[in-house]
Structures are given as C-alpha cells and as structure tokens.
Amino acid sequence: MIVKLFSSKKEAIEEVPKGTVRKLIVKNKSYLLIHSNQGFSVSDELCPHQHEPLSKGKLNDFNEIICPLHEYRFNLKSGIESTNKCRHLTLYQIAVKSDGLYIEI
C-alpha cells in the first residue's frame, strides 16, 4: 500500500525538520518518520529488541537512530543494528516526488 504523507518536500521539511522524528499511525500500526542528515527514512516505531518506542530515541551523526532503552543503534539505510545484538529494524520504501512524500507499507 502506498500512502501520501505530505503534499510537498517543503511541507515535509517544515513538519519534520532535520534531526527530528515523528510517529505516524497508518491503518492502526505505528511507524516512525525520521529526518536525518541524509534525508527521510521510515521505520517501525518500536525497537525490535524490547519494543521501546524509538520516537523517544535520538539520532546521531552516523545516520543511526538510538533506542532510549539499551542504546542499540540502527542504521537508517539498512536497518542493521550496529553490534548485531538484536533483530534489524524494518525500514520502508520512501519516495519524494514533485507532488509529495510517499511511503510504501
């Protein structure tokens, strides 16, 4: 399923500035829209280790989101946890087009 999140890239940047995250609910499931230094990413909202909300986490300079519970670090391009201590984070396709920002879930 393809879901349009914003009408333009400008609107997406205004709503989710670089260095921030936003929790999304689509079809009763939580996702996380992440705006890192390398662009937008979408992942599951819960850490795959013990299901802590990653919306409470923080971004680092290595394009990773850090879980607030055990500080596991997930790469925002691959979803791989940096030390392979838990399952990888599920990432979803995102497209920035002239008419908006879309995710495929």
DSSP states along 40-79: EEEEESB-TTT--BGGGSEE-TTSEEE-TTT--EEETTT-
The HSE-up count of residue 23 (CA atoms within 13 Å, CB side) is 12
Which residue ranges in the chain fall short of pLDDT 70?
none
The strand pairing partners of 59, in sequence order, are 65
CA dihedral 37, 97, 77, 32 (to 10 degrees): 80
Helix (H) or strand (E) holding 31: strand 29-36
Structure confidence at residue 65 (pLDDT) = 98
The domains found in the chain, sorted by start residue, are 2-104 (2.102.10.10)
pLDDT digits (tens, 9 = 90+) for 25-37: 998 999 999 999 9
24 contacts 33 by C-beta, under 8 angstroms: yes
